[in-house]
């Protein structure tokens, strides 16, 4: 089974394994088949108004740091 390809939900840039990426803190953006990932905080910020979140923050994932 090929691994799910990771790409930014905003700019569609590929997110390479081992690189840092950003996810949305809103649960509906991280459940089910739609797991949104963003290559940068800027791309996440572009997502927030389109998703009509009332309260949202971003979480950094990936990379070497916790
Ligand atoms: Zn992006
Ligand atoms: Zn979201």
The domain tally of the chain equals: 1
pLDDT the model gives residue 4: 59
- Going from the Cα of 43 to the center of ligand 1, the distance in angstroms, rounded, reads 5
Q: Partners of 21 in the beta sheet?
A: 61
d(C-alpha 55, C-alpha 8), whole Å: 21
pLDDT digits (tens, 9 = 90+) for 3-33: 556 899 999 999 988 899 999 999 999 987 7
Tell me the pLDDT band of 2, cut-offs 50, 70 and 90. Answer: low
* Domain ranges, residue 33: 1-66
Judge contact between 66 and 36, C-beta under 8 A. Answer: no
**7 CA distance to ligand 1 middle (Å):** 8
Q: Annotate the chain with DSSP letters as a single string.
A: -PPPPPB-TTT--B--TTSEEEEESSGGGSSTT----BSSHHHHHHHHHHHT-SS--EEEEESS--
Confidence at residue 63, expressed as pLDDT on a 0 to 100 scale? 74
**Is residue 65 pLDDT above 60, yes or no?**
no
CA of 51 to the centre of ligand 2 (A): 6
Q: How many whole angstroms from 56 Cα to the centroid of ligand 2?
A: 7
pLDDT for the residue 17: 85
- The pTM of this model reads 0.83
């Amino acid at each position: 089974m090929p691994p799910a390809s990771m790409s930014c939900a905003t700019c569609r840039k590929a997110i390479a394994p081992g690189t840092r990426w950003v996810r949305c803190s809103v649960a509906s953006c991280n459940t089910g088949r739609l797991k949104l990932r963003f290559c940068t905080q800027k791309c996440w910020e572009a997502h927030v108004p389109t998703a009509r979140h009332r309260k949202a923050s971003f979480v950094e994932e990936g990379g070497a740091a916790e």
